[in-house]
């Protein structure tokens, strides 16, 4: 995995996403020190003379409530990470066969074309919240690719809400309003994401953890440079660190794996644990008679990296017991 590329891309992505969602908020009449009123006229909402679908009024109200509660800058930062997180998840899924039911790439094209593959096959895409008539209309209208792609992307996010609700919200969420504009431009946040690393780096799920750690690296450095006490809200930037896979294996193999070997000295589980360290014979250890008695807790769980490897090891243990 090319960590140098990821380390270069992710901090720049944080600034780019914050800038993009802030610009989008401004388009909706929401500035740090001013909020433009909304004028309703039939099915249209007018904000600073610009027309929007009337349906955005309720979502805009939700967004303003969040800003009033948390502040403008923290809200923009949170919204930026939300969209970064979603697009990173989509990038991972589109590069693994079977993750997306329709089989098309959402952010890129397998042959390297400039436009995403899903846009090229828009009329064949089936997503529950996707208005097919609107898709056909925009497709036939010509020069409406940006609008059509936004429609497809939001529908894809809504579809994934059923399996990943903590990452992808429904279409009634305020974050929908701050999906950045100009997503098909050569310098868009999506193009930067696709071009910011090699597809080969995305074959390992570790890429998600590294991207997050590098994403907050600048904020971490700023917090560490403080001379005063660190505010509670900034503590995660310093303490949320990604654990490399070899360390995960070392920790799990010498805890869960060791427990099993102590209770089953003749187990062949040892053959699957390259980071296991043979120690002196122990007599005072937890006695178990079957795998079902094992309970495992990660008290500082982040991405669940240790838990997923623990699951792999438990699977071997259960298989060994028949």
pLDDT tens for 246-278 read 899 999 999 999 999 999 999 999 999 999 998
Beta bridge partners of 38: 47
Q: Residue 139 burial (CB < 10 Å; 0-12/13-18/19+)?
A: middle
Residues 154 and 284 placed together within one structural domain of the fold: no
Considering the domain architecture, whether residues 124 and 192 belong to the same structural domain is answered as yes
Q: Is residue 151 situated within a structural domain? A: yes
Asked if 260 and 269 count as a contact pair (C-beta separation under 8 A), the reply is: yes
Whether 310 is in a domain gets the answer yes
Read off the pLDDT band of 160 (50, 70, 90). Answer: very high
pLDDT beyond 90 at 115? yes
Beta bridge partners of 35: 30
Q: Quote the CA–CA distance of 300 and 141 in Å, as a whole number.
A: 52
Q: What is the pLDDT of residue 172?
A: 83
Quick check: 138 and 148 in contact, CB under 8 A? yes
Q: Judge whether 263 lies within some domain.
A: yes
Q: Which tens digit of pLDDT belongs to each residue from 61-109?
A: 999 999 999 999 999 999 999 999 999 999 999 999 999 999 999 999 9
Is it the case that residue 286 has pLDDT exceeding 80? Answer: yes
Alpha-carbon torsion (86, 92, 97, 99), positive or negative: negative
Confidence of residue 242 (pLDDT cuts 50, 70, 90): confident
- Whether residue 241 is predicted with pLDDT greater than 80 in this model: the reply is no
Split at pLDDT 50, 70, 90, the class of 59 is: very high
Q: What's the pLDDT score for residue 243?
A: 79
| Residue 47 in tokens | 């904000």
**In this structure, are 279 and 136 located in the same domain?**
no
Does any domain span residue 124?
Answer: yes
Query: Do 294 and 190 sit in the same domain of this protein?
Result: no
- Given 215, 234, 253, the domain boundary residue is 234
Rounded mean pLDDT of 134-144? 91
Looking at 188, 205, 234, the residue that finishes a domain is 234
Predicted pLDDT at 61 = 95
Whole-number Å distance between alpha carbons of 119 and 99? 18
For residues 18 and 38, membership in a common domain is answered with yes
Number of structural domains the chain divides into:
2
Question: Mean pLDDT throughout 54-64?
Answer: 94
Query: Do the domain assignments include residue 265?
Result: yes
Q: Is residue 239 part of a domain?
A: no
Q: What six digits make up the tokens of 156?
A: 């894809």
Q: 41 pLDDT exceeds 90?
A: no
Query: Model-level pTM?
Result: 0.82
% the chain with pLDDT above 70: 100
Please tell me whether residues 113 and 262 are part of one structural domain: no
Report long-range pairs for 145-149 (Cβ below 8 Å, ≥24 apart): 145/115, 145/119, 145/184, 146/181, 146/182, 146/183, 146/184, 148/119, 148/122, 149/116, 149/118, 149/119, 149/183, 149/184
d(CA 99, CA 91): 11
For residue 229, the 8-state DSSP code is P
- Are 255 and 202 members of one domain? no
What is the domain extent for residue 226? 3-234
Is 304 among the domain residues? yes
The answer to whether residues 173 and 141 belong to one domain is yes
Q: What is the mean pLDDT of residues 176-191?
A: 95
Residue 224 has pLDDT above 80, yes or no: no
Residue 283 and residue 230 share a domain: no
Please report which residue ranges of 216-322 form alpha helices under DSSP H: 217-224, 235-239, 245-252, 258-263, 305-320
* Last residue within a domain, chosen from 199, 234, 269: 234
Residue-wise DSSP of 156-196: HHHHHTTT-TTTS--TTSGGGGGS-S-TTSTTSHHHHHHHT
- Check whether residue 83 and residue 208 sit in a common domain: yes
Neighbours of 119 (CB within 10 A): 21
Classify residue 240: in a domain, yes or no.
no
Q: Of the ranges 16-20, 177-181, 189-193, 226-230, which one carries the lowest mean pLDDT score? A: 226-230
24 lies in the same domain as 56: yes
One domain, residues 203 and 287: no
| pLDDT score at 304 | 82
Q: Which residues contact 108 (CB under 8 A, 6 or more apart)?
A: 91, 94, 116, 117, 194
């Amino acid at each position: 995995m090319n960590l140098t590329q990821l380390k270069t891309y992710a901090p720049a992505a944080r600034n780019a996403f914050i800038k993009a969602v802030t610009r989008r908020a401004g388009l909706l009449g929401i500035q740090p020190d001013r909020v433009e009123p909304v004028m309703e006229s039939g099915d249209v909402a007018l904000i600073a003379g610009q027309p929007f679908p009337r349906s955005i009024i309720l979502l805009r109200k939700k967004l303003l409530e969040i800003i009033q509660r948390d502040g403008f800058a923290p809200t923009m930062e949170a919204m930026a990470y939300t969209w970064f997180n979603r697009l990173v998840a989509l990038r991972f899924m589109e590069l693994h066969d079977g993750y997306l039911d329709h089989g098309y790439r959402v952010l890129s094209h397998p042959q390297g074309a400039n436009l995403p593959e899903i846009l090229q096959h828009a009329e064949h895409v089936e997503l529950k919240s996707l208005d097919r008539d609107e898709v056909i209309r925009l497709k036939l209208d010509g020069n409406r690719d940006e609008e059509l792609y936004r429609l497809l992307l939001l529908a894809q996010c809504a579809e994934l809400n059923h399996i990943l609700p903590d990452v992808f919200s429904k279409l009634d969420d305020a974050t929908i309003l701050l999906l950045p504009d100009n997503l098909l431009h050569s310098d868009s946040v999506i193009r930067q994401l696709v071009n910011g690393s090699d597809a080969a780096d995305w074959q390992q799920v570790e890429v998600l953890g590294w991207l997050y750690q590098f994403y907050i690296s600048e904020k971490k450095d700023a917090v560490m440079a403080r001379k005063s006490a660190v505010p509670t809200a900034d503590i995660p930037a310093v303490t949320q660190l990604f654990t490399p896979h070899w360390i995960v294996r070392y920790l799990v193999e010498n805890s869960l794996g060791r427990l099993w070997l102590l209770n089953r000295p003749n187990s062949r589980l040892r053959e699957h644990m390259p980071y296991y360290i043979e120690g002196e014979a122990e007599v005072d250890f937890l006695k178990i008679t079957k795998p079902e008695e094992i309970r495992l807790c990660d008290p500082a769980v982040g991405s669940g990296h240790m838990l997923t490897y623990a699951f792999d090891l438990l699977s071997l243990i259960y298989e060994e017991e028949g």
